[in-house]
Structure 1
Amino acid sequence: MKKNFNLKAAIKAGTAAGLISGLVKLGWEDVLPPRTPERNATNPPQRLLEQLGMSPNLTHSTYTYSDQEMPWVSFIVHFGFSVSFGIIYEVLVENSQYLKKGYGTIFGLAVWVAFHLGIMPAMGTVPSAKEQPKEEHLSEALGHIAWMWTNDIVGRELYRRLTEAKQEQKA
């Protein structure tokens, strides 16, 4: 860890960045949907929770907004994942010159490869990488780039502001 590293500021910055980047990723998927409607009938967060023993009634629970059914349980998993990786990335990037290369894009692609091509297929949460359509690979790969790039920009700027504010208070 670097000498003047502020873990509390990194966690705050990573949390905010994760929430904002989670919104970016949701928006991305509206423009380039990664799954067909049939495959999205039970989306990966819902499927994962069902694999962990939660009932389909709970995993498919929704709230209504603007006459549309919105999957609140999926959103909790989506934003939980995004915030967790926002924090992990912010802590790591503030302590590693290597991770700063690519402004989060390389890290985002690595997360996509690890989870969408490796871990989730191995768990049976999503089909194997070979069975996933090209459109899914394109949407998820580019979406993970945009997601983590957003984490990088927002997280690093918030961390800078939070730590500068602390330094100004000490002066």
Structure 2
Amino acid sequence: MKEIALGALLLMAMGLGACSTVVPATLYQMRGLDPLSADPADIALRVDLPEGLGLLPGSGSLRLRATDADGAEMVGSYPITMVGDVLQVEPASHADLRALQAEIRARKAADPDGVTGSLSIDFEPCSETADIPDRVVVSVDIRLAADGPFLPLLRDAPLADALEMAALEELTLCP
């Protein structure tokens, strides 16, 4: 599956890497965000792709993964959906995601240094036309609370760098 690895971009944005397209002011505001306690209903992403590109319906998922010191993995994948121009975890998955968050929090409380994890959101982009520009960029805004504003997370990040494919020409045509 050709997915935008927003998870990697989000991890970079949360301070685990460096990227010139990440908005520093948003990183500062995200410093207290804990994926293990954030309400899935409150977090949303708005993806801005160039005209002619879109998101393949039904291709999105949020993945929460953690590993404890013994190598045991706790993994969940939850469908995301577009609500207007916003990506959110489908409401039917909120309870399951909250349960996994609680399980990981409990293991982390028992062994604070032994549990590591990641949170990623993946989706497959598509093209509305066969003509794709040579340079395509994506911008992403994130909302951390249901009543909060959208904050710029990434600005003009090269889409090719975020794709798990060799070339943009491999994009699926949008339905």
TM-score (norm 1): 0.41
Q: Which has the higher contact order (CA 8 A, sep 6+)?
A: 1
Q: Which has the larger radius of gyration?
A: 1
Structure with the higher helix share, 1 or 2? 1
TM-score (norm 2): 0.40
Structure with the higher strand share, 1 or 2? 2
